[in-house]
Amino acid sequence: MLQIYNTLTRSKQPFKPIESGKVKLYVCGMTVYDFCHIGHARVLIVFDMVVRWLRASGYEVIYVRNITDIDDKIIQRAVENGEPITALTQRFITAMHEDCATLNLLDPDQEPRATHFIEQMQGMIGRLIENELAYQGEGGDVNFAVRLFPQYGRLSGKSLDELHAGERVAITGGKRDPLDFVLWKSAKADEPAESRWQSPWGEGRPGWHIECSAMSCDLLGDHFDIHGGGADLQFPHHENEIAQSEGALYGQDHQPDDQPMVNYWMHNGHIRVNEEKMSKSLGNFFLIRDVLKRFDPEVLRFFILKAHYRSPINYSDAQLEEARSGLVRLYTALAHAPEIKVQALEKSSPWVQRFDAAMNDDFNTPEAIAALFDLATEINRSEGDTKIALASTLHTLAGVLNFLQMDPTAFLQAGSKQTSDSLSAEMIEARIADRLAAKKAKDFSGADLIRQELLTQGVVLEDKPGGLTEWRRN
């Protein structure tokens, strides 16, 4: 049975969907005022993997990933650029879709935009006011009264006293308590007209937290299976989502054993650069599209999934080169098989059982990939039908993680983007022909010099029976 680490309970739990055979999954998506960076790539690839495994396990999955298209940063960037907000957001939504397509990610089943759910947000805010969990301050903002929601802090493990002791922000915007957070922001005179909507509390726009509560509840219901996102969203964003959604449903009388908004909370770890958290404020972030100018999309995916999704990972070119070397090893095993057959997996196969056990242990991709490496070793020492069968198993299992779906020879000969332009395939084939001619003339030192020449340029030759020479790039 699938076990998922639930951030809410801080433990692995058997996965039991609310409705048998179906999974409702919501993932916090992008705030679209800039290009996506590799931190975004991690959350996109991790939950792409989760969806693929759930579907491979037989579940019908409804995958919702939102787009935040109204936000303080979006307004600020649009004003700085002197362009309409909708032009800015559409440009970066298009760019995000381009990145997702290049990474060969599954499309979410629904991709709601915050600006299309203003009515639902206002409805939820209205219920919170009726339940006396929200109030309008003197400045016009509508705020959530954190201390009136008894279960606040369950997800983050933070008590209200701890939060208050760490609070350094003065009470502004008519807040009664510095811990209170905004649900509806009153419009400012100098903000663009397209950043404001009419409401019972005056012109304004939604706060960030209420957006996801309204979209997830509208599309998946008041109670759904899995909510995912990056570890940085655990507090305050996801903590506030719980307070809003459950507060709107139960009010101040909410009890721990009341039906929760979400059964399982999943958070992927940070990407670090030189052992520091990657962030725009530190200027140490890398755009997906820039990374993919230097590395194949499958290499970036392999780099991210060879670590457990909850662990922090350190980004560097050396780490990506190591990931590519791992893929080369796996593709080489496939390239050595006479053929690869498309086949259904045999559940009795020890390789399938090991892979399944790893994935069912909280999506343990490092162990699943280790099984693929061991399977590749077995392929390399097998022959005939056994080699074909094992190679077919490797191809199918890796396909569950969206690896090894290229033609092996094409991948191996493409090489890394740093080296693949040094010699064309035609030039390499010409030098191989020169080497073969030297060997026929018994000029073995000349043949060895050609092999060494190609090796120094990142091209590895492998002589096969019958005089055939195969090649790949390092």
- Kindly report, residue by residue over 137-151, the tens digit of the pLDDT: 988 999 999 999 988
Identify whether 189 is part of a domain: yes
Question: Residues 74, 215: one domain?
Answer: yes
Q: Considering the domain boundaries, does residue 179 fall inside one? A: yes
Whether residue 127 sits in one domain with residue 236: yes
Residues 456, 453: Cα–Cα separation, whole Å: 5
431 — pLDDT class (breaks 50, 70, 90)? confident
Is 255 a residue whose pLDDT tops 80?
A: no
Residue at a domain's end among 257, 272, 287: 272
In the chain, pLDDT over 70 holds for what percent of residues? Answer: 95
pLDDT of residue 391: 96
Tell me, yes or no, whether 154 and 252 share the same domain: yes
Q: Are residues 463 and 372 in the same domain?
A: no
Q: Is residue 282 part of a domain?
A: no
Q: Please give the annotated binding residues for Zn(2+), written as ranges.
A: 28, 212, 237, 241
Q: 339 and 285 in contact (C-beta within 8 Å)?
A: no
pLDDT (mean) for 451-471: 78
Does the structure show a pLDDT above 60 at 170?
no
Q: Are residues 364 and 439 in the same domain?
A: no
- Residue 19: both structure tokens together: 């409705």
Same domain, 58 and 173: yes
Give the per-residue pLDDT at 229: 98
Check residues 281 and 327 and name the one with the higher pLDDT: 327
Tell me the pairing of strands 271-273 and 313-315.
parallel
Q: Is residue 340 part of a domain?
A: yes
Q: Quick one: average pLDDT of 110-118?
A: 98
Give the pLDDT of residue 171.
54
Looking at the fold, whether 45 and 174 belong to one and the same domain comes out as yes
Tell me the pLDDT of the chain averaged across its residues: 91
The predicted structure's pLDDT at residue 209: 97
Is it the case that residue 346 has pLDDT exceeding 90?
A: no
Burial class (CB in 10 A: 0-12, 13-18, 19+), 440: exposed
Residue 419, pLDDT above cutoff 60: no
| Torsion sign, CA atoms 324, 54, 28, 3 | negative
Instruction: Kindly state whether residues 169 and 229 are assigned to the same domain.
Output: yes
Residues 239, 357: one domain?
A: no
Whether the per-residue pLDDT at 308 is higher than 80: the answer is: yes
My answer on whether 119 and 227 are in the same domain is yes
Answer with the residue of higher pLDDT: 252 or 87. 87
Question: Which tokens belong to 47?
Answer: 């939950």
pLDDT surpasses 70 at 420: no
The enclosing domain of 395 has a CATH number of 1.20.120.640
pLDDT at 168 over 80: no
Has residue 310 been placed in a domain? no
Number of domains in the chain: 3
* Domain containing residue 181: CATH number: 3.40.50.620
Q: Would you say residue 415 lies in a domain?
A: no
Of 357, 375, 408, the residue at which a domain comes to its end is: 408
pLDDT band at 418 (very low <50, low <70, confident <90, very high): low
* Pairing, β 3-6 against β 11-14: antiparallel
Give the tens place of pLDDT for each residue, 379-414: 999 999 999 999 999 999 999 999 999 999 889 988
- Binding-site residues from annotation for ATP: 280
Whole-angstrom distance, CA of residue 306 vs CA of residue 368: 9
Domain that residue 184 falls in:
3-272
Rounded to whole angstroms, the Cα distance separating 463 from 67 reads 52
What tokens does 137 get?
A: 């301050």
Distance CA 26, CA 210 (A): 14
Give the 3-state DSSP-derived string for the chain, with helices as H, strands as E and coil as C.
CCEEEECCCCEEEECCCCECCEEEEEECCCECCCCCEHHHHHHHHHHHHHHHHHHHCCCEEEEEECEECCCHHHHHHHHHHCCCHHHHHHHHHHHHHHHHHHCCCCCCCECCEHHHCHHHHHHHHHHHHHCCCEEECCCCCEEECHHHCCCCCCCCCCCHHHHHHHCCCCCCCCCCCCCCEEEEEECCCCCCHHHCECCCCCCEEECHHHHHHHHHHHHHCCCEEEEEEEHHHHHHHHHHHHHHHHHHHHHHHCCCCCCCCEEEEEEECCEEECCEECCCCCCCCCEHHHHCCCCCHHHHHHHHHCCCCCCCEEECHHHHHHHHHHHHHHHHHHHCCCCCCCCCCCCCCHHHHHHHHHHHECCCHHHHHHHHHHHHHHHHCCCHHHHHHHHHHHHHHHHHCCCCCCCHHHHHHHCCCCCCCCCCHHHHHHHHHHHHHHHHCCCHHHHHHHHHHHHHCCEEEEECHHHCEEEEEC
User: Binding site membership: which residues?
Assistant: 28, 212, 237, 241, 280
Q: Are residues 108 and 214 in the same domain?
A: yes
Total length of the chain: 474
Rounded to an integer, what distance in angstroms lies between the CA atom of residue 98 and that of residue 406? 20
- Of 219, 240, 272, the one marking the end of a domain is 272
User: Do 213 and 79 share a structural domain?
Assistant: yes
Q: Does residue 291 sit within a domain?
A: no
| b (16+ CB within 10 A) / e for 237-262 | bbbbbbbbbbbbbbbeebeeeeebbb
For residue 264, being part of any structural domain is answered with yes
